[in-house]
Amino acid sequence: MPILRDTGASIDIICEKFITPNMFTSENVWVQHILDEHMTCLPLAEVEIDCDWGHVITKAAVVRKQLDH
C-alpha cells in the first residue's frame, strides 16, 4: 500500500483509494502544506503498513483520489 511517510512529519498521508469506509476513525486533522497558507481539514483512517521496518498500525490523514500524483 503506497503511503507518504516523512520522518520529520507528525502525521501520515494516504490516498482514499486505499481506504475502505470501516477504516475511518470519525476523527479529523487540520493540515497545512509548507508552501500554502491555507489549512485543510482531512479525515483520519486507521491503516496497517507492512514494510522493511516491520508491521505498523497507525492513523493517517486521507486525501482525495485527485491529489494522488
- The pLDDT, as a whole number, for residue 35 is 80
- The pLDDT, as a whole number, for residue 1 is 56
Put simply, whether the predicted model's pTM sits higher than 0.85 gets the answer: no
Q: Are 12 and 1 in contact (CB under 8 A)?
A: no
Nearest to 28 by CA among 39, 14, 44: 44
- The pLDDT, as a whole number, for residue 65 is 77
Give the bridge partners for 42, in sequence order: 29
- The pLDDT, as a whole number, for residue 64 is 85
Single-letter amino acid, residue 30:
W
pLDDT in tens, the chain (69 residues): 566 666 666 788 899 999 999 999 999 999 887 787 888 899 999 999 888 878 888 899 999 876 555
Q: Are 29 and 61 in contact (CB under 8 A)?
A: yes
10 Å CB burial of residue 6 (0-12, 13-18, 19+) is exposed
